[in-house]
Structures are given as structure tokens and as C-alpha cells.
A and B are shown apart, each in its own frame.
Chain A
Amino acid sequence: MTRRASLERILAVIVTVLLAVLFFAANPIIAGRMAVFEDRQAAQDIATGAALFEANCRSCHGINGEGVGELGPALNERAFFQDRMKTLGWPGTLGEYVSATIAQGRIAATRPLYAGDGNVVMTAWSQQYGGPLRPDEIAALTAFVLNWEDTALGVATLEPVMTPTPSPEDLAGQAGVGREVFSDAGCGECHAVAGLSTGTTGPDLSYIGAEAATRKPGLSAELYLRESFLLPNAYRVEGYPTEVQCGGVLSRSQLDALVAFLLTL
């Protein structure tokens, strides 16, 4: 037998033993890896849910789940996490409740505070019922909503962003951008603004900066303008169509600029 062959004979035994050892020794590592992936999946679900929430849910439930007026209930409050199940007599978990509500929608309000006159209050979001969301997206949204638990129960508090107060020049610049947004988004096709557009389908906005604060009691001029963009039917000016088809898609910064511009009128 050659030297090489006898060496390989020993090597064969060594690697086989090594492989066997690896199978046993790796088990704690495997358990650790599974935990890592579980965390990654949970994190990915929450991030996916966050994007879906921002795209689909915030106009009724608020960007921070604080609820919007009479449209949608708050999702980040203590009562939602602690009392909701008891009030409803729902037999399952909150997760199942949230998931089922997103999937199937809600045809009547469960609390008198929110609109519910027999019409659909919240539409079904699951593809199974004609909505846009896949089952995995509903699971992700559910994970996101449930992730408010810590802040809702006061276990954790979040640090607010300190934004610098804008200077007068910044505001003027923003109003300039808002003017562009007004033209680019086609607002002028329905709304007249002196010297800029002549639309007549919607109310004249030439003096909206002065009028906005008086339209809806308790709502500041800025909030009124924001609401009017996000929910065009929330307040109707006499003499204009009752079913308003408005709602261009603007980014947050575009909406900020548009509101700044309208406030200068």
C-alpha cells in the first residue's frame, strides 16, 4: 500500500468522525439561527405592515394610529389593547380580531362614536373578499398594529423629533413649491385662484387663506386645509357638487408645501 493511500485511509476516518461531531455540535447553533430568523421575520412583517398602513390605513386611523375624527378609531390607545375584546365579547385573541377586521371589513360601527348608518364602514381588504391585500400582507399589517401595544400601555415612550422652527424665508420658499404643486397636480382644473387658474367645478380658493379658519369650528386653518385634501367630503361649501371626486396623490412634503401656499392666499 502506498504512503498516500494509507494517509487517505486515516483521513477518511477523521473526516467521517468530524462529520458526525458536526451533526451533534451544531445543534445549539441551529437553535440560535432559528431564533435569529424568527426575529428577522417578525421585523420584516412589521416593516411590511408599516408600509401598507401608511399607504392604505392612515387616512382613517391616523399616521400614528391615533384615529381620525369620526372616521376611524384609535389603534394605539390603552382601551384598544385592554378592553376591546371584553366589550365585544370576542372569543379569540386581539390579533385574530384585527386580522379578521382587516380581511373582512366592518359593516356596522361597534361604537356609537364612529359612523355606521348601515352602510359599509370599513371595506374588506382581503383579496378573498375583493380587497387589494394578500393573506401575508394582512398578517404583516396585523403584526404592525399589534406592535403599538408597548406604547399604548405606557410600557415604552417614544422620543419625538425636534424639528427646527422654519424661518420666514423657508416658509416663503415652501409656498413657492406649493404653488408648483398646485399647478402640477391639476388643482386648478377645478379650483380658481386669482392669477393662477380659473376652474369652476370646485370652490374658489382665491381667499382661502383668510377663510379657512372660519369654515369648521374648532379646526385651525391649516388642519382644515389638510383635511379637505385628504377627505374632500368632510366639509362641503354650499352650491358645489356633493359627491366630490378629488384626491390627487401627494407626498407628505408636497401636501405641506401646498397647505403653506394656500395659507398665503
Chain B
Amino acid sequence: MTAHTDEPKTPQSESAAALLDRAARAAAAGMSADELRALLRGDPPTDRPNPRYRAHVESFFLHIRPRTYAYASTWFTHTFRLGFFAVFLALVEAITGILLMLYYVPTPAGAYASIWRLQTAVPWGEVLRDVHRLAAELMVAVVALHMLRTFLTRSYKGPRAFTWITGVVLLVLTLLFAFSGYLLPWDQLAYWAVTIGSSMADGVPLIGPRLRDLLRGAAVIGPDGLLCFYQLHIVLLPLLAALLLGVHYYRVARIHGISLPARVEEGDMPEAERQAARRKVDFLPDLLTHEVVLAVAATIALIVAALFFYDAPLQSHADPLRTPLEAEAPWFFLWVQGLLKLGNKTLMGVAIPSALLALLALVPFLDHNPSRLWRRRPLALTLAGVALIGFGVLSYMGSPSYGITLPAATEISQRLAPEEHRAGLRAVPFAQLPVGVYVVGKTDPATLPPAFAPVFADLARRVDAATADGRLPDARALLIIEDWQTGLKRATLRIGWSDPAGAGPRTFERTIYLPDAAGSHARGPARSAQSSALSAPPE
């Protein structure tokens, strides 16, 4: 600040100013203290040629950014900042991922416990995991939307064709990242989603089974499979992604820039407006400020979401011997699961997705339309619409409930208390589960505690519906709730019916264990016992 006063300078203050200036030049990529001050204040450059352009030469991180953007290419509604957010989320993933590696143990015996330890014993550990998971799913969505935007604005013309192809590869890498990370918590959700996913490799002609075993490390996923996915997730894919992102990003930044909106490029507006839209805007300082605002605001949003609105799922420990009733693919692969319900693995699981991918990569070479304006691209836009609807329909068909019918009694029991989700009976507060025998058709839900009543009413409704449509003739259902230990109740669901084929009475019984998740359990001894249990002889 002393450098800017108008008073005559003493030799000492001059040397202080010179020192400050030297420090500024060293730290701010060649910009003087005066220049840095003007930059921060939003004043025009202090010198000619613009010393801020010099910073783009001297600093590596500014050097990979363009010095200027065409004004129209910075319009929010042109890009929605989707490319920016894709890179931002990739950085979030890298940072949270590295921190998570400090606590994660990539072995079947240690993985699941290390996730719980992260959530119970590491301050901010749960936020770290939630943000990593949330940002991963957002990244899949953002990258896909980024590609959709690029298609809709036809921003893959000319030199951008190759950039588009690197983008398609990055989309595939993003999906592989999400999928390889899926296994790491080593819970039922992860284990079975990846078992189904890796069985897709079976469908590859000739090398299928070998490829599958290579991926899984054995016939079923075990220690080697977990290690394989872990190293894919933290070493191989990051290296490939850094390589591809480097190419993709540098091409956008230095070779061809962000495309102009079609109506600016093709002169579909008054000439004066067009000139204004094409003028150059400096990256420093206003665009950088804009990016800082977006990045910090998005960081806040992610942390707030992790704290209050989003819990990364964690089901029970992976068990190769216990297949879940309803195995779920991650939402971004539901369309493949939908395809698989239509045909065999080789055609539906491998051939069609690969063909779609190849088609996607070749889009710039198939589209010979000279115009980028929407009204002159009816065919391309119709195809995009059809593809989107197709993905929507296939994803719906891929959901667990579509086209797969559980036996009626199993279905009723699953809706009453899903195996893994905190829903139905499992969501009722412990205190609102009074001990007793509740008989469908005899017990009036109105007499039950408020949280339990709708669950029981729903059970009664489903039993009645199954009786009415003949799946469970003469169904009789009852629910027994017993105290088992302090903080632990046992619910027994019993359904009896006459076999529709006339083969006599049938029964279904299931026990559901309902612990009090609100605390007051004796704990400590059991957990600390685990480590010493294997070394100390009983007596």
C-alpha cells in the first residue's frame, strides 16, 4: 500500500516498496504490486502491453487457461458451465479420494469395518465419504449433460471432432470410475451390483469368461477382485483420466476455445449485437472471480448436502452366500439392466452398448449438416429426443420392480420390512413398536401408535389385495412383536393361505430383527474384543 501514496519517498520506504514489488512479481506470475492491486480492485491494467497476459505465460496454471474468451461463449445459457463443473467435481473426487485412502482398507475383512470406522471415529469422515459419493453421482450426470449440451449446440464441428471423441472416452472413464468405486464399501449393495456388472464381461465373444475372471480375480469376487477394483479406481483410471482430460481440456483452452452460440456464429442476429457478442473478454480478473464464486458455492452446497440431506448408502456386510431379493444396478446403469431383460448378455449387454458408444464417438463424422441452428437440424434433434426417451424407458425397465415378480407372500414381507432399506417396519421408532400379536382383519390400525399404524394398515391392504386377486386365497396374516433383549425386538410375520392349485394349506414365516438405533446399547467390549479374539486362547 505504501507504494501508492503520493508523498515523497524516503530511501527506506522505497526499498520496502521495491521489496513488495519483487515479492508480488515472484508470487503473481510477473505482475507488479501495482498491477496486482489493480487486478484485485477490478481496475484496468496499469501498463501496455497488458501485464496480465504475461501472467498467462509465466504461470503454468494460467498458461493452460485462455487469455481471452469470446463474450458470447461465456453466456450461462450457452454452456450452463457443465464442462467447468465436470472438472470441478473431478477435483473434488481427487481431493476427497486421497483423504479417504488414509482410512480405507482394501481387504474383505477390513473394508466394511473401515467404512464404519470412518463414520464413527473420524471427524468429518462421514462428510468426506458423503461428498465423494455425491460428487461421483453428480459427475456422471454433469458429464452426460455436458455431452448432451455439446450435441444440442452441435459444438463438435471441424477441429472439435477430435475433442468430442476424447469427451466420449472421458464419459466412459467417468462411468468406470463410478462403477469401480461402487464395490469398495464391500456391502451387499456393492457386492451384488458389481457381481452382476462384472458378469457382463461374460458376454464378450471368445474371451468373455477369462475377462470376467480377470476382473473378479476369481470365479466370484473375493480379496483379489476387491484389490483389482481398488487399484483400477485409484491408479489406472486416474492416470488415464488425467491423460485424456489433459488432451480434452487443452484443446478447448488453446486450440479452438468454447464454441460460440450458433446464432452468433451464423449471424442470426443484428450485426451490432453480433459484434458485441464476439468481442474478447479477458480471463483475468472477472472470469476468474466468476469461477471462484461457482467453485466455493458448489463446495458449500456439497458440504451442506452431506451434513443434512444426503447419506451415502451402506448396507450390511457383503455376503457371497446371500443373494438379495432385489439386486439394484446403480441408476446410471439401469438402462443396461433394462436391455438385459430383453435378451441375452452378448447382444444386449455387450453388443448394443458398444455399438451405441461407437455411434456416439462417430457423431461428428455422421452429421454433415452445415448449420448449427436448431431449426435447421430437425433430424439430429429428433434422434436425440428419441434416444433420451429410449434411455428413460430402458432405465424404468431396469428398475427391480419391473418384469420381476416375487412370490406374493415374499413380496408382502419385503414391503413390510425391506431387507436393507430403513423403510416400513424398520423405520418405525423403537418406542412405537408395542409388544403384542396383531392380526390382519382383527386388529384395528387406529388403536396402534401413530408411526406403526400406517405400516400395519399397509400390510393389511397388501394381504387383502393378494386375497382378492387370487394369489393368496383365504390369506390369514399376523404380526407378532416380542421383546428379545433390551433395545432389541423380534417381529415375526406369519402368512397362511390355501394353495391356489388345491394342494392344501401353505405358510410363510419370516423373523425381522428390530434394534433400537437411538442408542443406550452396551458397546465397546464387543468391538475391542475382535482384535484380541484371534490371538488369545480361550483357556
**What is A's interface to B at a CB cutoff of 8 Å?**
1-2, 5-6, 8-9, 11-12, 15-16, 18-19, 22, 26-27, 29-31, 33-35, 37-48, 50-51, 54, 64, 88, 90, 92-101, 103-106, 110, 126, 128, 134-140, 142-144, 146-151, 155-156, 158-164, 176-177, 180, 251-254, 257
Contact = CB atoms under 8 A, between A and B. Distances in A.
B536 A100 contact: yes
A42 B113 CA distance: 12
A149 B300 CA distance: 45
Interface residues on B, range: 35 or more
A37 B116 contact: yes
A5 B490 contact: no
A255 B490 CA distance: 18
Given A33-B119, A138-B530, A139-B529, 11 more contacts: A8-B289, A27-B123, A29-B307, A35-B519, A39-B519, A47-B513, A48-B317, A54-B511, A126-B534, A139-B527, A164-B437
Contacts of A128: 534
Contacts of B539: 88, 90, 110
B253 to A, nearest CB: 21
Given A110-B539, A161-B435, A96 B42 contact: no
Interface stretch (B162-170, B255-263, B339-347, B477-485): B477-485
Contacts of B435: 159-161
Contacts of A103: 533-534
- A-B pairs, top 6 by smallest CB distance, nearest first, are A95-B525, A43-B515, A158-B483, A99-B529, A143-B526, A99-B533
Nearest to A101: B538
Contacts of A94: 525
A76 B133 CA distance: 42
A176 B487 CA distance: 37
> Considering residues B113, B480, B481, B538, which has the most beta carbons from chain A within 10 angstroms of its beta carbon?
B538
B292 A100 contact: no
A49 to B, nearest CB: 8
B119 A46 contact: no
A104 B538 CA distance: 7
Contact of B112 (A39, A136, A146, A151): A136
Nearest to B298: A15
Contacts of A47: 488, 513-515
Contacts of A90: 539
Contact of A46 (B303, B487, B528, B529): B487
A106 B522 CA distance: 25
> Considering residues B504, B514, B522, which has the most beta carbons from chain A within 10 angstroms of its beta carbon?
B522
Contacts of A95: 524-526, 528-529
A97 B533 CA distance: 8
Q: DSSP majority for the B interface?
A: mixed
A12 B112 contact: no
A257 B516 CA distance: 32
Given A19-B300, A147-B488, A180-B504, A142 B513 contact: no
Given A5-B289, A29-B307, A143 B485 contact: no
A39 B521 contact: yes
Interface in B449-466: none
B499 to A, nearest CB: 10
A96 B521 contact: no
B303 to A, nearest CB: 6
B50 interface: no
A128 to B, nearest CB: 6
A187 to B, nearest CB: 16
B522 A161 contact: no
Contact of B296 (A12, A51, A147, A252): A12
A97 B316 contact: no
Contacts of A160: 435, 483
A146 B299 contact: no
A50 to B, nearest CB: 4
Contacts of B488: 46-47, 50, 144, 147
Contacts of A31: 123
Given A30-B127, A253-B494, A177 B521 contact: no
B507 A253 contact: yes
A38 B523 CA distance: 9
A147 B522 contact: yes
A2 B480 CA distance: 70
B517 A43 contact: yes
Contacts of A97: 538
Contacts of A142: 525-526, 529-530
Given A8-B289, A37-B116, A177 B505 contact: yes
A38 to B, nearest CB: 4
A19 B296 contact: yes
A233 to B, nearest CB: 26
Interface in B412-432: none
> Considering residues A2, A9, A155, A164, which has the most beta carbons from chain B within 10 angstroms of its beta carbon?
A9
B483 A159 contact: yes
Contacts of A30: 123-124, 126-127, 307
A104 B537 contact: yes
